[in-house]
């Protein structure tokens, strides 16, 4: 069974509100008729409300880049799930490698975020991936297994398919070094097998697994043509309408 592909853009710490609105307008205009693919964009928090208004009525879903496990309280600088829901956010990136590496997020903290997102009907886009040293040491699958098992701890089999996994080899993020289609498929197939072991075959079949790491219009077709690659999480190439739209079209062709 082929799942409907999802292309999600992670705008990271880029775009003022007016720049974000301009990009969202271009995307909504270009992708208005593209209803064979799921599309989401994750602007910075400051632009969520304005971008949400622009996207209202379009096929493009609104995602956030992070959330805190608690609903409210003394957590200066943090954003909660109810705050995101109030802005009609539907997806949230959790455990991005930049948060793991630069902000010290642990597997158990990421697990709390996954559980919180699900509790508030937000779809987590759970990022997992090995760094270069881990790949070179032959530890890729072990690292992925540890991250997935920890992140899914306490998730019910009913809700497990709502977690979108994004395999993002850290060495391929923002570096221009893309994993080969074979390297990516090997890990995606492994993740699907692991979900079947942790939950059921049905969960594994229904759960989407995205690839992320220097995906561009030029390499998207081959990656997205792999049997277990159900879409992409896109950083750099999501910051311009032309490249993001081309990626969405490549996904539509690869389905």
Catalytic residue numbers read: 96, 168
Query: Where along the sequence are the contacts to ligand PEP (CB under 6 A)?
Result: 10, 168, 173-174, 212-215, 233-237
Task: Name the residue nearer to ligand PEP (CB basis): 148 or 234.
Answer: 234
In contact, 236 and 251? CB cutoff 8 Å = no
Minimum separation from the CB atom of position 239 to ligand PEP (A): 9
> Which residue has the CB atom at the shortest distance from ligand PEP?
235
Minimum separation from the CB atom of position 191 to ligand PEP (A): 16
Give Cα separations from 251 to 9, 29, 60 (angstroms). 13, 18, 15
Minimum separation from the CB atom of position 96 to ligand PEP (A): 6
Task: Name the residue nearer to ligand PEP (CB basis): 199 or 211.
Answer: 211
Minimum separation from the CB atom of position 74 to ligand PEP (A): 30
Task: Name the residue nearer to ligand PEP (CB basis): 135 or 203.
Answer: 135
Compute the half-sphere exposure of residue 41: CA atoms within 13 Å on the CB side of its CA. 37
CB atoms within 10 A of CB 55: 22
Phi and psi at 43, nearest 5°, equal: -75, 170
Task: Name the residue nearer to ligand PEP (CB basis): 199 or 249.
Answer: 249
Give Cα separations from 171 to 92, 96, 136, 167 (angstroms). 23, 13, 11, 12
No. of H helices and E strands in the chain?
11, 8
Q: How far apart are CA 63 and CA 197, in angstroms?
A: 29
HEC states along 9-45? Answer: EECCCCCCHHHHHHHHHHHHHHHCCCCCCEEEEECCH
Token pair for residue 105?
Answer: 């997020």
Minimum separation from the CB atom of position 33 to ligand PEP (A): 25
Task: Name the residue nearer to ligand PEP (CB basis): 185 or 214.
Answer: 214
């Amino acid at each position: 069974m082929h799942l409907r592909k999802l292309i999600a853009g992670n705008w990271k710490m880029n775009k003022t509100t007016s720049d974000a609105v301009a990009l969202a307008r271009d995307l909504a205009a270009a992708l208005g008729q593209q209803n064979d693919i799921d599309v989401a964009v994750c602007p910075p928090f400051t632009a969520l409300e304005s971008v949400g208004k622009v996207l209202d009525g379009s096929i493009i879903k609104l995602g956030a880049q992070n959330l805190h496990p608690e609903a409210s309280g003394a957590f200066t600088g943090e954003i909660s799930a109810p705050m995101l829901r109030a802005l009609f956010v539907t997806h949230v990136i959790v455990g991005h490698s930049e948060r793991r590496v630069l902000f010290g997020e642990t597997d158990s903290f990421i697990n709390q975020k996954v559980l919180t997102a699900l509790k508030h009907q937000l779809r987590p886009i759970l990022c997992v991936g090995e760094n270069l040293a881990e790949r070179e040491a032959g530890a890729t699958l072990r690292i992925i297994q540890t991250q997935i098992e920890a992140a899914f701890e306490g998730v019910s089999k009913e809700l497990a398919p709502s977690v979108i996994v994004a395999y993002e080899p850290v060495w391929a993020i923002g570096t221009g070094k893309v994993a080969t289609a074979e390297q990516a498929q090997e890990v995606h197939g492994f993740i699907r097998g692991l979900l079947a072991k942790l939950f059921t075959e049905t969960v594994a079949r229904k759960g989407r697994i995205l690839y992320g790491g220097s995906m561009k219009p030029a390499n998207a077709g081959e990656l997205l043509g792999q049997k277990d690659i159900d879409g992409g999480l896109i950083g750099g190439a999501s910051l311009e309408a032309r490249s993001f739209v081309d990626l969405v079209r490549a996904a539509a062709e690869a389905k």
